[in-house]
């Protein structure tokens, strides 16, 4: 039968059913969009009022909201995680065909696990190792001696340069480039001299990498992405960076060479971190903020210029070029006022 009953969901995922446990759901949806055959969820009691108007056939709620509706419902102590699990059950990934597509090009010395899937036009170089149940999409190019763990999924057109090591359950989206040369040059006379980039990229388990993100190989030592790091699209990670476990980074962020990011950090979109800095664990960095010094203390940091109507922005921004002299004028005034106050007034 299609979908799952609430009883079946609870049997697999835990939680507690209130109301009719035989209610079947075939898809998950938002409170506004859900229909009678669908299950929805409430992750914040603030929006509890929306339950009344939802046509969802069932709900995932926290204990605090358990009585806010009489619809069939599953009570979970983490409704958002529960929603993710229900969605994964209802929306399994398409199964990739096991084996090597005849239009893939695989070197004789590559070791492809018998349960792996290698798509058409993928190219696997000599000495590469592809783990059990891993999927290498169309047009991927896996360099010499690359090692990819089990259950990894490389979407079409991922490139991994030679000798990089990727962990289990990696998800790499299309256009990702892992292990290209870092940006390293010496000056000799009037021109640049390339510094060979002889380190690798080493990626832990359970990492996800968004479309067109690039992670450069190390100059001498390795670039390291620890377990459970989540990288959004179009991120640039330079050579010899280390990113601590469980850190999540939003799109378009740039991290310069040899920066070391702690564990459990969250970095907003288009932010930047300069080279050779150290960022402590549990640091949050706002979107668009450039971090120019090491951060030793957990907490939230920001550097955003507040936007305004262009004419107001223009009027205000011009003073930023004179802020120092404005402060000097303020100081001079303070001195003068102090002097004036010292003079005996007429009574």
Residue closer to its own copies, measured from CB, 11 or 326? 326
Q: How many CB atoms are located within 10 Å of the residue 160 CB?
A: 29
Residue 116, burial from CB neighbour count under 10 angstroms (0-12, 13-18, 19+): buried
Query: Which candidate, 143, 124, 155, places its Cα nearest to that of 200?
Result: 143
Catalytic residue among 163, 239, 246, 322: 239
CA distance 89 to 72: 19
For residues 50 and 174, which CB has a smaller minimum distance to its own copies in the complex? 174
21/270 with CB nearer its own copies? 270
Closest distance to its own copies from the beta carbon of 339 (Å): 8
Q: How far is the CB of 125 from its own copies (least distance, A)?
A: 9
Please compute Rg for the chain using Cα positions.
Answer: 27
Question: CA separation (Å) from 341 to 37, 232, 333?
Answer: 78, 59, 12
For residue 48, the number of C-alpha atoms closer than 13 Å in the C-beta half-sphere is 12
- In the complex, what is the shortest distance from the CB of residue 26 to its own copies, in angstroms, rounded to a whole number? 12
Distances (CA, A) of 94 to 27, 90, 139: 16, 12, 18
Measured from the CB of residue 152, what is the shortest distance to its own copies in angstroms? 14
Closest distance between its own copies and the C-beta of residue 294, in Å?
A: 11
Query: Which is closer to its own copies, CB of 11 or CB of 220?
Result: 220
Q: Is 282 a catalytic residue?
A: no
Give the relative orientation of helices 79-90 and 6-13 as an angle to the nearest 10 degrees: 110
Which residues are known catalytic residues?
239
């Amino acid at each position: 039968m299609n979908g799952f009953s609430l009883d079946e969901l609870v049997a697999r995922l835990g939680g507690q059913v209130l109301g009719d446990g035989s209610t079947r759901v075939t898809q998950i949806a938002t409170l506004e969009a859900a229909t009678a055959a669908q299950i929805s969820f409430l992750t914040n009691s603030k929006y509890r009022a929306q339950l009344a108007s939802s046509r969802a056939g069932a709900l995932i709620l926290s204990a605090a909201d358990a009585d806010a509706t009489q619809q069939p419902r599953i009570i979970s102590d983490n409704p958002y995680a529960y929603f993710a699990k229900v969605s994964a059950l209802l929306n399994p990934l398409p199964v990739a065909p096991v084996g090597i597509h005849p239009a893939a090009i695989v070197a004789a010395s590559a070791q492809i696990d018998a349960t792996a899937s290698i798509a058409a036009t993928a190219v696997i170089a000599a000495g590469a190792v592809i783990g059990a149940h891993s999927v290498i999409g169309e047009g991927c190019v896996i360099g010499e001696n690359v090692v990819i763990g089990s259950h990894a999924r490389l979407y079409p057109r991922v490139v991994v340069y030679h000798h990089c090591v990727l962990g289990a359950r990696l998800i790499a989206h299309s256009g990702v480039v892992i292990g290209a040369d870092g940006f390293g040059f010496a000056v000799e006379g009037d021109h640049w001299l390339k510094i060979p980039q002889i380190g690798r990229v080493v990626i832990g388990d359970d990492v996800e990498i968004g479309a067109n993100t690039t992670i450069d190989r190390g100059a001498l030592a390795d670039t390291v992405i620890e377990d459970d790091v989540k990288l959004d699209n179009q991120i640039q990670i330079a050579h010899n960076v280390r990113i601590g476990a469980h850190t999540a980074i939003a799109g378009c962020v740039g991290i310069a060479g040899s920066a070391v990011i702690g564990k459990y950090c969250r970095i907003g979109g288009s932010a930047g971190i300069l080279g050779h800095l150290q960022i402590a664990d549990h640091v949050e960095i706002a979107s668009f903020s450039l971090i120019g010094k090491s951060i030793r203390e957990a907490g939230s940091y920001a550097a955003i210029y507040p936007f305004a109507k262009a004419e107001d922005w223009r009027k205000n921004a011009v003073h930023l070029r004179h802020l120092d002299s404005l402060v000097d004028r303020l100081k001079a005034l303070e001195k003068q006022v102090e002097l004036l106050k010292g003079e005996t007034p007429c009574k």
